[in-house]
Amino acid sequence: MECETGAFAGLLGRCPAMERLRRDIVQLGPSELRVHVFGETGTGKEMVARALHDLSPRARRKLVSVNVAGFTDELLVAELFGHARGAFTGAVRDREGFVAEAEGGTLFIDEVGEMSALAQVRLLRFLEGGEYQRLGETARRRADVRVISATNVDLERRVRERRFREDLWFRLRDETIQVPPLRERGADVILLARHFLRVQATRRGEASPTLARAVETVLLGHDWPGNVRQLQNEMRRLAVRAAGREVKVEDLSPALQAVPVRRTGTLRAALKKRETELVQDALDRHDGILSRAAAELGITRQALWAKVRRRGPVGESA
């Protein structure tokens, strides 16, 4: 699948989790299902929403994005559903709202777990019947909008804690897509780093910097708490610091140089160790059942068995 242009622009990666992510997008994009995207900050949840929209019959209409974190009750409801002039202090003119703006298209609600109790009620009513009211009006309006939501928190837990409405949670997630954190994507870190360097160098009209092997080892060993966004920012500064030459460890930001590297040795050894970790994690999650673990990893059962056998004696599960 093309990842640098088209629907998958920005969703680069060759690891099994990213291949699975793109397959999910291809399957769910053309549908009318409401998709909830879960992932840590900086993993690219809005890009997933964009890809779902671009592959849908609604692609010719707008994708409207709103991050609800930080809005007060009244302001969030007014921003989502609009308001009439004079509905509250500061409402000096009518406003249509994000729902009306997304008519015929897609409304992407980011950080949906941070919605206030009032906003949750209003959103639930809209999802149930496609109707809403602007603040300061009694008339009901209708909108044809596909809703995609996203969060970086465990909404199941918030439901249990009664901090998020269970009925709204059910309405939001016909299907769920999980975006993997960068620390679990293995060699994708290097693929993305080179891509970001190339993009920045092209914009500057310069040759793209290369990465020294020691730098690749550091990048592979870092935990990347800010995920792809953090890596992109790091490569942006390196495109300037190491313009047209090889990036050395001393060129890296102090934060990267200061954090102990969890993996040492050659790039091949680091990748082999990471592969072993991913295989073992998949086997643990599926109680040693090779067929299920192989499906999660995106490889055949025979290929997984060969990898397991190379690690030494092991009891085989079907």
pLDDT digits (tens, 9 = 90+) for 21-35: 999 999 999 999 999
Q: Among residues 246, 236, 149, which one has the least CA distance to residue 199? A: 236
| Claim: this prediction has a pTM higher than 0.95 | no
Three-class DSSP labels, 48-110: HHHHHHHCCCCCCCCEEEEECCCCCHHHHHHHHHCECCCCCCCCCCCECCHHHHCCCCEEEEE
DSSP SS3 for 151 = strand
Topology of domain 183-258, per CATH?
Helicase, Ruva Protein; domain 3 (1.10.8)
Domain ranges of the chain: 6-180, 183-258, 268-310
Does the domain formed by 268-310 have CATH 1.10.10?
yes
Using the predicted structure, report yes or no on whether residue 282 has a pLDDT greater than 50. yes
**Residue-wise pLDDT tens digits, 47-103:** 999 999 999 999 999 999 999 987 877 788 888 998 776 666 666 577 888 999 999
Among candidate residues 231, 224, 220, 194, the one with its CA nearest the CA of residue 209: 194
3-state secondary structure of 307: helix
Token pair, residue 281, equals: 């994690």
DSSP states along 268-279: HHHHHHHHHHHH
**Whole-number mean pLDDT of the chain?**
87
Identity of the residue numbered 117: A
Coil/strand/helix, residue 129: helix
∠ CA 172-98-161, rounded to 5°: 35
Fold held by 6-180: Rossmann fold (3.40.50)
